[in-house]
Amino acid sequence: MNPKEPSRRRFLKNGAALAGLAVGASATKASAADAPEERVDLLHKVGERSHFVDAIRRGSANNPERRLPDEPRNFGISTPLQDSDGTVTPASLHYIVSHGYEPPDINPQEHRLIIHGMVERPLSLSMDDLRRLPSVSRFHFIECHGNSTTGGLGGAARISPDATVQDTHGFTSCSQWTGVPLPLLLKEAGVKKGATWIIAEGADEYKHSKSIPIDKALDDALVAYAQNGEPVRPEQGYPLRLVIPGWQGINNVKWLRRIDLVDEPYMGMMEISRYPRLGLDGKSRWFEFEMGPKSVITRPSGGQRLPVPGFYEITGLAWSGGGAIRRVEVSTDGGATWKDAELQGPVASKAHTRFTIPWNWSGEETTIQSRCTDDKGTVQPTIAEVAKHWGVDLDYFRKITLIVSDLNAIQPWKINRDGSVKNAIF
């Protein structure tokens, strides 16, 4: 099959396979006249989705035994990727990891962004000041470093045959972020010689801070005040969020209030107790940043069911911290053969990319999976390849209960003869 052949032509070639599909289900219409006048007025002002749409975020709590004394429960709220279309995640469904703290109630008229430290001209910027400056809008994903791990955020659900794509990969989302490029602000402040790191700090209750190399800050970092055409939601950092494209989610500091330029990392609580990765040699890596190339089929995926044999469109998402996705391949026979999928536009750097490929399911048991290649030529590995690279066997990943940082292994889904779809990572 030619991957560049137009989708419509390929669809028509598979038209005969559609003969078994049933249509004609009717839906009951809800009358606006039945709604209270106040609610109708509110719908006209801000709107809401149909009550027939039931895609929701789901939450899970980290292992309470890993918490420090008096530390709040660390909740993660995942995105329903199985219900997604296109590449942009609605703000209402964007995943949340806020380390157990609720969003602070910040008055934007009183909020200031302070840029100080090793600079020539310290800045104190109001929201009005920031909105007067040149802005950009860019599509970028944000992803927790524990997303798609075999333990940690999702617990046992991550390795269960019944795990859904929301369980396995739901801690990534993609938005159009609008704001002021951080390089512009740092240029205005004047970076002093010797400044090699920035310390970004939020206005949340425990003042989350993150050390970021200044080279990245001067590259593509963004101080965002809008998300998908509206102000950033409170749970996403209102009124300001730092966006560090392609890097671990922890770097994207929410409720941003301060940027300090320094000559060494701050070594804050998260940097010394939560995010270092202990290697098999007993040594820890203090800083990990870029997310590797990753893809996942979202339909059909775990927990779903194919009603009858015949034509289906396989679709999913691919992304990489190393740049844009250049290729996605799909296998429908357990990795024996691969075919190129079509990449739907726009294909943006460090953003989710939607891929699709037509497929005729024979009704027999099989395994489907995807793998992607990014700008750097890096190919997404299998779980076996990751194990070999680490020098461990697959039992290591089956048994480990801690978060495996930045695991980007291929995610297989098993299609059973009854049409049920199961997690087949092992």
198-250 pLDDT, tens digit each = 999 999 988 889 999 999 999 999 999 999 999 999 999 999 999 999 999 99
- pLDDT band, residue 402 (cuts 50/70/90): low
* Measured distance CA(62)–CA(66) in Å, rounded: 8
pLDDT of residue 155: 46
Residue intervals in the chain for CATH 3.90.420.10: 96-285
Task: Say if residues 257 and 203 touch (Cβ distance below 8 Å).
Answer: yes
Task: Say if residues 60 and 155 touch (Cβ distance below 8 Å).
Answer: yes
Domain 96-285 carries which CATH code? 3.90.420.10
Nearest to 411 by CA among 348, 336, 330, 354: 330
Query: Looking at the predicted structure, is the pLDDT value of residue 307 above 50?
Result: yes
Query: Which class for 133: exposed (0-12), middle (13-18), buried (19 or more C-beta within 10 A)?
Result: middle
pLDDT of residue 46: 80
State mean pLDDT over 266-284.
69
Residue intervals in the chain for CATH 2.60.40.650: 294-423
In CATH, what is the architecture of 294-423?
Sandwich (2.60)
Nearest to 235 by CA among 204, 268, 259: 204
- The side-by-side arrangement of strands in the sheet containing 294-299 is 294-299, 310-319, 353-361, 342-343
- pLDDT band, residue 411 (cuts 50/70/90): very high
Query: Which class for 17: exposed (0-12), middle (13-18), buried (19 or more C-beta within 10 A)?
Result: middle
| pLDDT tens per residue across span 31-85 | 445 566 777 777 777 888 888 988 988 875 444 434 445 555 556 789 999 999 9
Amino acid at residue number 139: F
pLDDT of residue 276: 63
Among the residue ranges 158-172, 264-278, 327-341, the one predicted with the least confidence is 264-278
Task: Say if residues 136 and 179 touch (Cβ distance below 8 Å).
Answer: yes
* Measured distance CA(360)–CA(92) in Å, rounded: 34
Among the residue ranges 14-18, 126-130, 155-159, 192-196, the one predicted with the least confidence is 14-18
Q: What is the pTM of this model?
A: 0.87
Nearest to 417 by CA among 357, 365, 366: 365
| pLDDT tens per residue across span 353-372 | 999 999 999 999 999 999 99
Task: Say if residues 251 and 212 touch (Cβ distance below 8 Å).
Answer: yes
pLDDT of residue 403: 65
- pLDDT band, residue 389 (cuts 50/70/90): confident
- pLDDT band, residue 8 (cuts 50/70/90): very low
